[in-house]
């Protein structure tokens, strides 16, 4: 790992463990993963894009608001870095090193809005969503096993996967792949409170452990008029 260009300090050890777990999951899907960091005072938002799900994953951690960055400023920055190098910089102590910036992938230039979110009605509970993901996984396996040998190709399996994971969850407009992503990244856990939020063309599935966001057309159409301010 190259020398870090900035040192930050977590609010507590639990925040360090949570961020390390999130980065590890991203690297599981993409060993060369990059993350975009946005820090402001006592918070750090970490954005990543696991390629299998076509969503943005967002993990926020609390920083020590009294710790200073370069020039005596609190941690205020916006930088895209290697997820692997960031993970290496998280040690046993509360301080961690922020590596040098890398050339960001295209997704890093288009992030969800910071404000203007409203709740979207009709979202099932966490346990029902986990059950929907389990049913979709079972359906994929059954349909894959039913394919004749001459059609058991990557392209055919991709078609089945796209058909299953693009299905919307009820009338919310949220594709099932976003729920699958939330579960696979450790955000969607049994019994946790969940919320679906909309802002412009964006949807965001929020849990206490992180969010997944994606752009989708028609957020304001007649199916989703039951919006309430957050």
Of 79, 108, 137, the domain-final residue: 108
74 occurs within a structural domain: yes
pLDDT score recorded for residue 161: 94
The two tokens of residue 193 are 């409170």
113 occurs within a structural domain: no
Q: Are residues 218 and 130 in the same domain?
A: yes
Widest distance between CA atoms in the chain = 65
Of 108, 127, 147, the domain-final residue: 108
pLDDT at residue 138 above 90? yes
123 occurs within a structural domain: yes
Alpha-helical (H) ranges within the chain are 13-29, 83-88, 126-146, 154-165, 176-184
Q: Are residues 94 and 125 in the same domain?
A: no
Q: Are residues 99 and 125 in the same domain?
A: no
CB 96 within 8 A of CB 35: no
Q: List, for residues 216-230, the tens digit of each pLDDT value.
A: 864 444 344 344 444
Q: Are residues 178 and 82 in the same domain?
A: no
31 occurs within a structural domain: yes
Residue with tokens 């990244």, as numbered in its chain: 185
Q: Are residues 137 and 91 in the same domain?
A: no
Q: What strands, in cross-sheet order, belong to the sheet with 227-229?
A: 77-82, 34-40, 43-48, 56-62, 210-215, 202-207, 195-199, 118-120, 227-229
pLDDT at residue 120 above 70? yes
Residue with tokens 């969010």, as numbered in its chain: 211
Q: Are residues 201 and 129 in the same domain?
A: yes
Q: Are residues 40 and 64 in the same domain?
A: yes
Q: Which residues pair with 79 in a beta bridge?
A: 37
Contacting residues for 17 by C-beta, under 8 A, at least 6 apart: none
Tell me the CB-side half-sphere exposure of residue 195, using CA atoms within 13 A.
13
Of 84, 108, 132, the domain-final residue: 108
Please give the residue range of the domain that contains residue 168. 118-229
pLDDT score recorded for residue 72: 39
Q: List, for residues 78-90, the tens digit of each pLDDT value.
A: 999 999 999 999 9
168: helix, coil or strand? strand
52 occurs within a structural domain: yes
What CATH number is attached to the domain comprising 83? Answer: 3.10.150
Q: Are residues 99 and 127 in the same domain?
A: no
The two tokens of residue 60 are 């926020």
1 occurs within a structural domain: no
Q: Are residues 212 and 132 in the same domain?
A: yes
**Distance in angstroms (rounded) separating the CA atoms of residues 57 and 47:** 6
Count of structural domains within the chain: 2
The two tokens of residue 10 are 């977590």
- The mean-pLDDT minimum among 30-34, 69-73, 103-107 falls in 69-73
pLDDT score recorded for residue 217: 67
**Distance in angstroms (rounded) separating the CA atoms of residues 134 and 53:** 16
What is the DSSP annotation of 142-200? HHHHHS-GGG-SHHHHHHHHHHHHT-BSTTS--BHHHHHHHHHTT-S-TT---EEEEET
Q: List, for residues 168-214, the tens digit of each pLDDT value.
A: 998 899 999 999 999 999 999 999 999 999 999 999 999 999 999 99
pLDDT score recorded for residue 124: 94
């Amino acid at each position: 790992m190259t020398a870090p260009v900035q040192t930050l300090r977590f609010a507590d050890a639990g925040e360090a463990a949570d961020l390390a777990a999130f980065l590890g999951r991203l690297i599981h899907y993409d060993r060369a993963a990059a993350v975009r960091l946005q820090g402001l005072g006592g918070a750090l938002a970490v954005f990543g894009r696991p390629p299998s799900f076509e969503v943005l994953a967002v993990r926020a951690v609390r920083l020590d608001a009294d710790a200073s960055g370069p020039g005596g400023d609190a941690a205020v920055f916006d930088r895209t870095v290697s997820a692997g190098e960031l993970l290496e910089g998280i040690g046993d102590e509360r301080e961690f090193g922020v590596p040098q910036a890398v050339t960001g992938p295209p997704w890093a230039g288009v992030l969800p809005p910071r404000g203007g979110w409203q709740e979207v009605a009709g979202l099932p509970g966490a346990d029902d969503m986990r059950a929907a993901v389990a049913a979709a996984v079972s359906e994929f396996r059954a349909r894959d096993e039913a394919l004749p040998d001459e059609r058991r190709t990557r392209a055919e399996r991709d078609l089945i996967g796209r058909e299953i994971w693009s299905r919307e969850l009820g009338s919310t407009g949220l594709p099932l792949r976003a729920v699958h992503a939330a579960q696979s990244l450790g955000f969607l856990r049994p019994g946790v409170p969940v919320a679906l939020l909309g802002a412009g063309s964006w949807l965001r599935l929020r849990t206490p452990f992180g969010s997944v966001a994606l752009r989708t057309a028609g957020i304001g159409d007649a199916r989703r008029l039951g919006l309430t301010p957050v």
